[in-house]
Structure 1
Amino acid sequence: MSRVSDQLSELLAPVVTGLGYELIGIEWDSDSRGHRVMRIYIDAEDGITVDDCERVSNQVSALLDVEDPVSGSYLLEVSSPGIDRPLFTLDHFRRFVDQAVKLRLRQPRDGQRRFKGVIAGTEDDCLILRTDGGDEIALPIDNIDKARLVPDYKAILKG
């Protein structure tokens, strides 16, 4: 996660948790017209509805208007994590051990920035990733730019 997203998480987490939700993380993106988008992921035990997203969006938007922590214009989106859930912290990786993940590094490792494998665990400040070849590699959490679970559609369709 970036330092800006970390600071925003610290600012927004009390509001989100106060409404009864978990703040999963904040992601910056751009839409099809090139506008910056701040995407806030929330979750709850019973899942997330559109009404939940609207409720959080209204509260977060009011706080962002008052605090003004981000320079320039941007669009605010509040979303559930979905089945291809983004992972932001070591705790997230620990929670999904033995599940497939794809990720992109900020700085390449051995000339490679994109990885896909199974979360084998964590150690110190690193994700341990088991690659398709069976090798386990340690990737520092600070070097992970984006990470998402890879849904097992076969298991979903069976379930």
Structure 2
Amino acid sequence: MPKERVTDIVERLAQPIAAEVGVELVDVEYKKEGANWYLRVFIDKEGGVDIDDCTRVSERLSERLDEVDPIPSSYFLEVSSPGAERPLKKPSDFERAIGQFVHVSLYEPWQGQKVFEGELTEYDGESLTLSYAVKGVRKTARIPMEKIAAARLAVQL
């Protein structure tokens, strides 16, 4: 059986804590930057999170991580908002993003492109549909979910 990833363990521990605090767990990231490891937990709620939400989740999660001790080395725990360019990972993220401007990166080219930015017009669990412009011409792309490497909300300039 493969060893469980740190992010999966932390997500499982953080989910009930986020629910207790009244926020949504958006993402968990564990990465090395320079000589230090960072465990980043991103939370959100309708209207956005504030410093008190982040503090409550951070304190409770820190206690839980100390109990379970899933990370053998030292790390910095950061709890924050995902920001304006929130990642889209779960079906509910995509459903909520319908009508919004998104950035989608693919594993391989689709309709001649690896990156799309446009309005998410449809999502059915199997694929998503984007309306985007190329040199002023409006186009539509229906992209299968298995082709998507990463997706996020995007700020439209």
TM tier relative to shorter chain: 0.7 to 0.9
What is the aligned partner in structure 1 of residue 119 from structure 2? 118
What is the aligned partner in structure 1 of residue 55 from structure 2? 54
**Are 2:155 and 1:151 aligned?**
yes
Partner Cα distance (1:75, 1:81) in 2: 17
Decide whether aligned partners of structure 1 residues 150 and 57 sit closer, same or farther in structure 2, where only a CA change above 3 A counts: same
What is the aligned partner in structure 1 of residue 16 from structure 2? 14
5 Å-filtered alignment, 1:95-114, equals: 95-105=96-106, 107-110=107-110, 113-114=114-115
State the superposition RMSD in angstroms: 2.8
AA matched with 1:22: E
Decide whether aligned partners of structure 1 residues 112 and 63 sit closer, same or farther in structure 2, where only a CA change above 3 A counts: farther
Q: Deviations over 1:80-137 (max 9, x none)?
A: 12222222212111111121111334x3235854332221221233333333341213
Partner Cα distance (1:114, 1:36) in 2: 30
Partner Cα distance (2:113, 2:36) in 1: 29
Using structure 1 for the length normalisation, give the TM-score: 0.74
Aligned-residue identity in percent: 34
Number of aligned residue pairs: give it: 148
Stretches of structure 2 that go unaligned for 5 or more consecutive residues are none
AA matched with 1:62: E
| C-alpha displacement of 1:72 | 4.0
What is the aligned partner in structure 2 of residue 136 from structure 1? 141
What is the aligned partner in structure 2 of residue 80 from structure 1? 81
What is the aligned partner in structure 1 of residue 42 from structure 2? 41
Decide whether aligned partners of structure 1 residues 75 and 97 sit closer, same or farther in structure 2, where only a CA change above 3 A counts: same
| C-alpha displacement of 1:39 | 1.8
SS in 2 for 1:135: strand
| C-alpha displacement of 1:59 | 0.9
